Chain A
Amino acid sequence: MKKTPVIFGLFFPVILFICLCTGRYPITPGQVAGLLLAPLGVENRFFSAPPDMMMIFWNVRVPRIILSVFVGAGVSTAGAVFQALFRNPLAAPDILGVTQGSGFGAALVILFLSPLALVIQTSAFAFGILAVALAYILASLSRDSSPSVLVISGIVISAIFQAGLSFIMYMANPYDQLIQIIFWTMGSFNTASWAKVRAAAPLLFSGILLITAFSWRLNLMTQGEEDARSMGIHVARWRIFYVVVSTLMVACSVTAVGNVAWIGLIVPHIARYLAGSEHRRLIPMTAVLGGLFLMVMDTVARSLMLSEIPISIVTSIFGAPFLGYLVVSAGKARFSHEPQY
């Protein structure tokens, strides 16, 4: 365990650098180094970047990579939190309907109001939060306060918003509106900009910090509700805290880049192999791994083919088999590996 952070400490900058060098606009590693050093005041006698390269590097590639790291880290952290809260390793961060709500909110605006990015994003964010709030209200009407009731409420709300989304897609003009909606439902970092980084990164970063700070209590949340209460945790209140923080993070991500499938489900599992189930160690590992994973996936999405591939397709194609590989290769150890210290 002690080695893992060191390995990641070395790993992360290397992969970051590779991702910075990759893309359809060719920039060599030497040029990337020059571009990175230039603002620090380091004179570079061998190389001065042409203006269009400067523009693409600083205004397209760098914000896109920053955004993918934050979104990956945020959604993965939210996934780990939801898996703990619902005591279910198969829970995804959109189990309460935030993705479907956001998708519906975005599609609604695209169809009826305007294609203005800011309006679409506001609506997506609001509807994402609304969906989770509705799921919570629905669950609270039940006398049963167990998390499974909340899951069922989430399924109900998701289904309704998904139906609404499908209906709008059916109604939408296939030449412009539909394409916009589909790209939204499959997610893309195509529109990444410094403005989006400024909007999303602070919220995602503070969400991850908050969850990390309160990560040890998640261990208790995975135990039975009555067990956790008799150990001194006010389970209902803490569940709201974790759900609100996680939902804000996911809504913020979906608003910025659309739906990113699989990340929230798969990354916590990979992190559990590396760091064990104890959440004090698991949460930071999940965040780092999620950022790394989505950064690489987005690099693949933007450079593998001539045209951009929606991010959810890439994360599914690479993520799902990887999880399958982990399950098969680790065999029995999946549910019973010895935690490392």
Chain B
Amino acid sequence: MNLSIENISAGYGGIPVISHIDLTVAPGRICALMGRNGSGKTTLLRCINGLLPLLEGRVRVLGRDIRDLGRDKIARMISVVPQVSFSPFSFSCLDMVLMAGAARIKAWSAPSEKEKQKALAAMAETGIGHMAKRAFNNLSGGERQLVMLARGLFQDTPIMLLDEPNSHLDFANQHKIMALMQSLARKRKMTVLVTLHDPNLTHYYCDDVILIHEGGVRARGETGKTLTDEVLSCVLGNNIECDVTRKGVFVVVPKFNLVHMNEKVNL
């Protein structure tokens, strides 16, 4: 296993937000991390990346305890695609992507021409090869997210963590990014762990799913078998349910409320 989490608890100021979580994530698969706001998804990601000290338990990356590893070692095993934001200074997209090569080069050097070619290749892979010289802050939210994804790919790690990569994206772009992640995970044999809010995206694109509820794992396993009415209403809220479209596609929709719908029609 690329990534194994053994009975970890962690939180802020000594108060655990997540407790006794056990997980393993296999290579070449996308695993979705779902749960409501404040359930501890982001906290879990921070623990895996070694940013938050654990109260108990252990995180192993490629068989090694994350606590024994320096930041540069961790950065060569785990890349993080953060939620998009602005940069305080105007960098070009290529400069933004190149930053992820920091762990590979000497502290007093800058990225070589070879690194630049590699960064451009990563940008081409996410479909933004033509944006290399454009100013990052001038791009739309979706384009900036693609730059962040290219940066994660350029970091070239066996494990990639994505924190709500869809939060600022339009409908089409959400699917574009997830489809891209799916093919990249297969092609590069990466372990991908992604926090998602939309159960439909999880179902279409992710191989496995972990549902976090109140700081613990409520359910996990292969997506098709795990996303059931019972689990969904427990973890994400009791106002949604599973359905199948006329074409036979599995969807999660708001519970159909006849009274409410009629009111709307009458208006």
Contact = CB atoms under 8 A, between A and B. Distances in A.
A339 B134 CA distance: 7
Contacts of B90: 276-277, 335-337, 339
Nearest to B110: A216
Interface in A200-252: 213-217, 219-220, 222-224, 226-227, 229-234
Interface residues of B, number: 38
B74 interface: yes
Given A224-B85, A339-B91, A232 B110 contact: no
A88 B80 CA distance: 24
Contact of B103 (A224, A231, A272): A231
Contacts of B88: 87-89, 222
A341 interface: yes
B71 A222 contact: no
Given A226-B82, A338-B134, A339-B90, A232 B102 contact: yes
A339 B102 CA distance: 21
Interface string B87-127: 11111100100111011000111110000000000000000
Contact of A335 (B76, B110, B133, B137): B137
A336 B79 contact: no
Contact of B102 (A83, A88, A233): A233
A278 interface: yes
A88 B13 CA distance: 28
A196 interface: no
Contacts of A224: 82, 85
A278 B110 CA distance: 11
B89 A230 contact: no
A83 B90 CA distance: 13
A238 to B, nearest CB: 8
A339 B135 contact: yes
Q: Which of A220, A231, A234, A339 has the largest number of chain B CB atoms within 10 A? A: A231
A234 B70 contact: yes
A226 B78 CA distance: 13
A234 B71 contact: yes
Interface residue SS majority, chain A:
loop
Given A220-B99, A230-B75, A277 B133 contact: no
Interface in A304-318: none
B51 interface: yes
Nearest to A338: B135
Contacts of A222: 87-89
Contacts of B98: 219
B131 to A, nearest CB: 11
Interface string A75-118: 00000000110011100000000000000000000000000000
Contacts of A213: 108
Nearest to A337: B90
B133 A231 contact: no
B78 A230 contact: yes
Interface string A18-32: 000000000000000
B198 interface: no
Nearest to B13: A143
A89 B89 contact: yes
Nearest to B89: A277
A341 to B, nearest CB: 6
B117 to A, nearest CB: 15
Contact of B51 (A83, A220, A229): A229
Nearest to A86: B88
Given A232-B75, A338-B133, 15 more contacts: A87-B88, A215-B110, A219-B91, A224-B82, A230-B49, A230-B75, A231-B99, A232-B72, A233-B72, A234-B72, A277-B89, A277-B90, A278-B92, A339-B95, A339-B135
Interface of B: 13, 46, 49, 51, 70-72, 74-76, 78-80, 82, 85, 87-92, 95, 98-100, 102-103, 107-111, 133-135, 137-138, 155
Interface of A: 83-84, 87-89, 143, 213-217, 219-220, 222-224, 226-227, 229-234, 272, 276-278, 280, 335-339, 341
8 contacts: A88-B88, A219-B95, A219-B99, A224-B85, A227-B82, A230-B80, A277-B90, A339-B90
